[in-house]
Amino acid sequence: MASMQQAIFTVLIIASGLYQDAEAVTHIVGGATGPGWTFQANDLTFYDTWASKESFNVGDVLVFNFNSTLHDVLEVSTDDLKTCTTPASPIQRNLTSNGSLTISTSGTHAYICGVPQHCTFGMKMTITTVGASTPNTNSTNPAGSKAAVGAIKSPFFTFNLLLGVMLTAIAVATV
Ligand SMILES: *[C@@H]1O[C@H](CO)[C@@H](O)[C@H](O)[C@H]1NC(C)=O
Ligand SMILES: *[C@@H]1O[C@H](CO)[C@@H](O)[C@H](O)[C@H]1NC(C)=O
Ligand SMILES: *[C@@H]1O[C@H](CO)[C@@H](O)[C@H](O)[C@H]1NC(C)=O
Ligand SMILES: *[C@@H]1O[C@H](CO)[C@@H](O)[C@H](O)[C@H]1NC(C)=O
């Protein structure tokens, strides 16, 4: 009996470890001691360079430190970012100073300042969530294994995993 309880305990510890892994992270766009969300006319890929060093997961929050009398932040299609077009109906927007946007789906997300010309002065960023590559069950394919890691980090997957583990533990305990 003691060893079974120990086994259940171990499984729950492992499951809660995975759950910790899936906790949402808050990213200060441009870095905690960075310039915030503002013109980068001398380095138009400034925010992409910053983003390339971060790991983004679904549920994470992006904080854009800006002054709302000057700027805003919109999530747009990657095509709109490429052409620096401010769409009438962006995917998401935050007009509040130092506003945040949540990454709600896996894949690639594009952000711009919606004030005309500000995107062309470097207020643009493209991010991709961890493990966002097309799911591939081919285990010898590195892209496929990366997708699997991403799936484990998805909060929904983790919740189901945790639930499954708990139900199994209860079922074992009641035998
Ligand atoms: C926005 O964030 C910056 C940098 O963290 C801070 O200095 C400023 O006071 C904040 N502004 C508002 C309106 O919260
Ligand atoms: C925001 O910008 C306006 C215009 O430049 C300025 O008057 C105001 O003090 C700024 N607010 C903050 C919190 O920096
Ligand atoms: C805008 O950002 C603020 C500050 O983080 C947040 O409280 C608010 O919910 C955000 N609004 C939208 C529409 O996301
Ligand atoms: C799996 O991926 C490898 C490497 O990309 C490829 O050579 C192989 O044909 C793939 N197998 C299947 C069944 O897709």
**DSSP of 15-79, one letter per residue?**
HHHHHHHT---EEETT-TTS--S---TT-TTHHHHHHTTS-B-TT-EEE----TTT--EEEE-HH
Ligand 1, atom 10, lies closest to the CA of 98
Q: Which two tokens stand for residue 14?
A: 């492992």
Going by C-alpha positions, the residue among 61, 131, 126, 70 that lies closest to residue 96 is 70
When pLDDT is cut at 50, 70 and 90, the band that residue 167 belongs to is: confident
Ligand 1, atom 6, lies closest to the CA of 65
Residue 145 confidence (pLDDT):
41
Ligand 2 site residues (CB inside 6 A) read: 67, 69-70
Tell whether the model's pLDDT for residue 5 goes beyond 90: no
Indicate if ligand 3 lies below 6 Å from the C-beta of 90. Answer: no
Nearest ligand to the CA of 140 is: 4
Across the chain, what does the average pLDDT equal? 82
When pLDDT is cut at 50, 70 and 90, the band that residue 131 belongs to is: confident
Render pLDDT for 18-77 as a digit per residue (tens, 0 to 9).
544 568 999 999 999 999 999 999 999 999 999 999 999 999 999 999 999 999 999 999
pTM of the complete model beyond 0.85: no
CA geometry: angle at 161 spanning 159 and 165, to 5°?
115
Mean pLDDT along residues 6-26:
61
